[in-house]
Structure 1
Amino acid sequence: MPPLCELGLVDLAAAIAAREVSCVEVAHAHLEHADAVNPAVNALIARRDPDDVLDEAGERDAELGRGGRRGVLHGVPQAVKDVTEAAGQPFTAGSPIFAERVGVTDAPHVARMRAAGALFVGRTNTPELGFGSQTFNPVWGTTRNPYDLSRAVGGSSGGAAAGLATRMLPAADGSDTMGSLRNPAAWANVYGLRPSRGRLPGSPGFVAQLNEPGPMARTVLDLAALLGVMTAGGPVGPLDRADPLDLTDLHPAEPEGLRVGWLGDLGGRLATEPGLLDLARAPVDVLARLGAVVEDVVPAFDLDRLWDAFLVWRWWNSVEMAPLVEDPALREQLKPELVWEIEHGLGLTAREVARAAIVRAEWYAAVVALFDRFDVLLAPATQVHPFAADVPWPAEIAGRPMDTYHRWMETVMPWSMAGVPVLGMPAGFTPGGLPVGVQLIGPPGGDRRVLEVGLTHEAATDWSARRPPLLM
């Protein structure tokens, strides 16, 4: 295990800036470590020629020698999630239809990472076209959980999560439609932030779709450092937030009197694997011991209506992929879950979409009202522990059948629909050594609040420092 790979983003960036280590040394250490570890987990895909990476690292060193430093990512190895476009990089999205596609331009947050000096070493694996919370696809195969190689690591940012946990990356970008930054963070013992709606430029246009780009890291401060890069430059699209995000002088929140709402299984609504809720409640108990005021809460809202609106929103978002099912040759290359999403989207009526928009607005108002009572909310990030890597998705939980391929992740859905900031963070481990994670939920625009409460919890635990058996 190269010592340089143990460093997170903040410490690695500081060492490079101080010329304590060269960018070439950093690149060489991470490339060599990936050679040793990646074959077991399959987190990094489409890896670049190491000579090209080392040449670029040398150019970064030359810039430093001339007194130039692009930003916090100067010379820091990064790998962009494979559903996100980056100029000159493979852009397969895990689909055989796009197996030969190469990015033409940078997505906004990728452009910002590049401008800050990122050294791209490859891509991170994702489910086919990003659909599903299990990272496998017919182009690159399955990404495995570093804490148990027989199990899944979640998704769709599963490659990023596994790359972080194995120390192949010091921080990583991801994205989240339903729970793609939170589920893999939970199962890999890392952090993932779904920012406030529009905090990062994501889907263009005038419709608030569900997908949000966001950072992942092994510590809250590392995550905040990458978030600072990804948000630099202000709004791009018409629905992007214009209020600046102040990430200076981040410090742990004062826990005394902090009002915390524990959502649990939403009053028995959610099927959960036996024992999971007790483990996921650990951060609540940590904050309570530090002085927080904790109360169990179930939102006063018809969550069946919300689930139905969520399905409509996903289906509506899938309509842009209609050509993939209308061409029989392309259709047969898609996994059935994707065909199901697109076909339902094509069958939507304008009235159904309008009704879903009304429900989403009503839910947003209900969530805003919750934050009159609470400073933050806590909820499980998953409803099951990591399952076998060859299982596409769990058909049932504790004897309760799942009626869709993503119902088993319903715990993350409400907060995606609300567009509020959610920090996926480590909560401990099962007796068998599998990571457990929670969602720390803040009010609209409260990205800084969840980071500071996350720092409070992180300082009181040592979960984030625990390494997977693969590295030991």
Structure 2
Amino acid sequence: MTDEITDEITYVPATELAARIRQRELSAREVVQAHLERIERVGSQVNAVVTVDPEGAMDAARAADDRLARGTEVGPLHGLPIAFKDTHLTRGMRTTHGSPLFADHVPDEDELLVERVQAAGAIRIGKTNVPEFAAGSHTFNPVFGATRNPYDPTRTAGGSSGGAAAALAAGLQPIADGSDMGGSLRNPASFCNVVGLRPTPGRVPALPKRNPWDTMAVAGPMGRTVADAALLLSVMAGPDPRCPLTLETPGEAFRVPLESDLRGLRVAWAPDLGGRVPVDPEVTAVLEPQVQVFEELGCRVTEDCPDLDGAEEAFRTLRAQEFALGLGELLDAHPGALKPSLVWNIEEGRRLTGADLARATAAHARVHLAGVEFFSRYDVLLAPVSQVVPFDIELEYPTSIAGQVLHTYLDWMRSAYFVTVLGAPALSVPAGFTPGGLPVGLQVVGAPRAELTVLRAGAAYEAATGHGVRRPALPHDSRPRPALPHDSRPHGNHPHGSHHAHPRA
């Protein structure tokens, strides 16, 4: 294929691409080949897709075309290529978690999410880059290096689904799976001008999972449009009796038109979450005018915010508990093999007492109830996704925002992780660019289980603004993979057996 044909195919929305494959206007082979060629040509500039299986992908594409030719019923993702997040287990393809301890680890099973996406017809082409054990919202690790922002390669793509977001923005895949504890879907979507949805806990069941009662970490869809994310959600979502928090609504409920009249929608706008978080003036300058778009769409907009008192204690405590539970044994077995911020978070969890956990659980309950009350008065909440613009790739994390000093790798993520504690679906949708050309996302939050309300509001805003259409200008060349600026530790030996701990940013 010529470069022009390849690029034309790789930026077609996933919904349209799937329809064109089903209608035989394009073959799965053409679509997969186009994406593999683009990965080969520009992929090293962003370092987003870190494991690639061209032969396996083309074999699967040929089989997909054969099924369609025979008249076999095919799934809603038939023929669409996808590179799975490198924390999600993929049978026969290495899953490194961004750690030298798992650099050569090849699982013998697929995660439930991977099973569902492939059963719907998606074709696995590789894996996307993550921070070490998905900890932190900046994607770098000692196995593959750092993922660069397609809009400015000197900046971060965010994380922990940074490889997924950058791959979408760079045209390396049409849909992407991600996960989110404190912003792992939302921050990279904001930084890379794509869409990411953190669903209600239980909407997307997770197996295997060490703590099936955890509500902090969830899996969710990403895409270049809201409709593309909804299409992937329709496959990822749906009940599973093995998951105790699973919601009963079938995934097909999200495979519906999103066009909606927003007149009368009750919208709350919280530019700094009620004064609880500092926000970079560049972010505020982009987002403030977006509120008027909702007013022009007929919404009733009021500046207001749910009561988030206790969200900090709840998130920090429950996150630390999960890190100690999921990675504590690994730290003991391999002292010195984990990055310092990860060790700090594990040790924070180990210092917790029963009383600490009881207080955090009570605070979590209070915030959840405050959110339920808030969403009895409003349909959606608008807020910044990220408190900062994409920062320098040489930094591990921002150390100040608007003059306020930050002390840990989590501090700059409060605008995302306070929303996590609400237990509500939260969408990051492209909201514009700074004068320097850096993307900024708008967070659209709804009541628990109200994904369709959030998706419809996001789709209407997307249609009215078109911010997501702007593409990065990537030169068509191939350069050596960028070195990791933060961590040059040598690779270690990976432990035996599968690893099922999935802390996320």
TM superposition score normalised by structure 2: 0.90
**Secondary structure of 2:92's partner?**
coil
The structure showing larger relative contact order (alpha-carbon pairs under 8 Å, at least 6 residues apart) is 2
1:265 corresponds to which residue? 272
How far is the alpha carbon of 1:257 from its aligned partner? 1.6
How far is the alpha carbon of 1:315 from its aligned partner? 0.7
Pick the aligned partner of 2:125 from 113, 121, 124: 121
Distance 1:409 1:205, change over 3 A: closer
1:282 corresponds to which residue? 289
1:94 corresponds to which residue? 98
User: Which runs of 5 or more structure 2 residues have no equivalent in the other structure?
Assistant: 477-505
1:74 corresponds to which residue? 78
1:10 corresponds to which residue? 15
| Alignment-mate amino acid for residue 42 of structure 2 | V
Does 1:225 pair with 2:231?
yes
1:374 corresponds to which residue? 378
Contact 1:70 1:115 (8 Å CA) reproduced:
no
**2:372 and 2:238 mapped to 1: Cα distance?**
27
Contact 1:8 1:170 (8 Å CA) reproduced:
yes
1:300 corresponds to which residue? 307
1:326 corresponds to which residue? 332
**1:464 and 1:137 mapped to 2: Cα distance?**
28
**1:458 and 1:59 mapped to 2: Cα distance?**
35
Does 1:256 pair with 2:260?
no
Structure 1 residues 45-96: Cα deviation after superposition (integer angstroms, max 9, x where no partner): 1111x23321221111111111124312222110110011111111101001
How far is the alpha carbon of 1:471 from its aligned partner? 6.4
Contact 2:49 2:167 (8 Å CA) reproduced:
yes
> Which of 204-213 and 118-127 deviates more?
204-213
| Aligned 1:301-380 pairs, distance under 5 A | 301-302=308-309, 305-320=310-325, 321-327=327-333, 330-380=334-384
2:392 corresponds to which residue? 388
| Alignment-mate amino acid for residue 354 of structure 2 | A
**2:356 and 2:439 mapped to 1: Cα distance?**
39
> Which of 398-407 and 424-433 deviates more?
398-407
Does 1:170 pair with 2:174?
yes
State how many pairs are aligned.
Answer: 467
Contact 2:205 2:238 (8 Å CA) reproduced:
no
**Secondary structure of 2:443's partner?**
strand
**1:16 and 1:39 mapped to 2: Cα distance?**
28
Pick the aligned partner of 1:247 from 233, 236, 254: 254
**2:299 and 2:317 mapped to 1: Cα distance?**
38
Contact 1:23 1:75 (8 Å CA) reproduced:
yes
Does 1:198 pair with 2:202?
yes
Pick the aligned partner of 2:185 from 181, 188, 207: 181
**Secondary structure of 1:291's partner?**
coil
Identity across the alignment (%): 44
Contact 1:205 1:238 (8 Å CA) reproduced:
no
Structure 1 residues 409-428: Cα deviation after superposition (integer angstroms, max 9, x where no partner): 10011221121100111110
TM superposition score normalised by structure 1: 0.96
**1:374 and 1:471 mapped to 2: Cα distance?**
45
Contact 2:205 2:239 (8 Å CA) reproduced:
no
How far is the alpha carbon of 1:281 from its aligned partner? 2.6
1:291 corresponds to which residue? 298
**2:337 and 2:255 mapped to 1: Cα distance?**
47
**1:209 and 1:266 mapped to 2: Cα distance?**
21
**1:471 and 1:197 mapped to 2: Cα distance?**
40
| Alignment-mate amino acid for residue 287 of structure 2 | A
Distance 1:267 1:209, change over 3 A: closer
How far is the alpha carbon of 1:16 from its aligned partner? 1.0
**Secondary structure of 1:439's partner?**
strand
Contact 1:309 1:357 (8 Å CA) reproduced:
yes
1:215 corresponds to which residue? 221
**2:51 and 2:322 mapped to 1: Cα distance?**
27
2:438 corresponds to which residue? 434
| Alignment-mate amino acid for residue 52 of structure 2 | R
**Secondary structure of 2:375's partner?**
helix
1:151 corresponds to which residue? 155
